[in-house]
């Protein structure tokens, strides 16, 4: 019985090579996406330059640090921080949508399609990158 379990849990060499190729291209995707996202998020004009706008930009910039860490597999701060930081990031963007208002369904969906991968990256960085966080400094 144990022998059968060991055989089924072993991954064939071909499958391991396919996984490595996928993660290689996945890593390239996240790096390219990070820079595209950076181009879109940095030049956002202030809708009203007050304390809430400044706080919103700080939240965005800290989120970008986490996004960079995930894309380039660098340890930034610690994983629990990113698990927690996902919520202010989400609330910040929801507040931004409410504050600015709707600009039409197509534009709103486009903006959401640009922002959602950042949430995915921060989630994966905080919750699913145990191998990265386990490495020695």
- What confidence tens digit (pLDDT) does each residue in 40-50 have? 777 666 666 78
Task: Tell me, yes or no, if the pTM score tops 0.75.
Answer: no
Min mean pLDDT across 22-36, 58-72, 107-121 is at: 22-36
Q: What is the mean pLDDT of residues 90-114?
A: 81
Q: What is the pLDDT at residue 112?
A: 84
Q: Are 78 and 125 in contact (CB under 8 A)?
A: no
CA distance 136 to 82: 19
Q: Are 118 and 37 in contact (CB under 8 A)?
A: yes
């Amino acid at each position: 019985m144990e022998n059968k379990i060991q055989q089924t849990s072993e991954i064939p060499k071909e499958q391991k090579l396919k996984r490595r190729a996928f993660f290689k291209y996945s890593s390239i995707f996240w790096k390219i996406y990070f820079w595209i996202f950076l181009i879109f998020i940095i030049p956002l004009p202030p809708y009203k330059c007050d304390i809430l706008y400044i706080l919103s930009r700080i939240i965005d910039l800290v989120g970008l640090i986490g996004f960079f860490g995930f894309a380039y597999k660098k340890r930034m701060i610690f994983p629990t921080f990113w698990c927690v930081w996902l919520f202010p990031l989400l609330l910040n963007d929801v507040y931004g949508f409410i504050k600015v208002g709707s600009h039409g369904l197509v534009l709103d969906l486009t903006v959401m399609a640009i922002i959602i991968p950042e949430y995915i990256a921060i989630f994966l960085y905080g919750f699913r990158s145990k191998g990265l966080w386990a490495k020695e400094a």
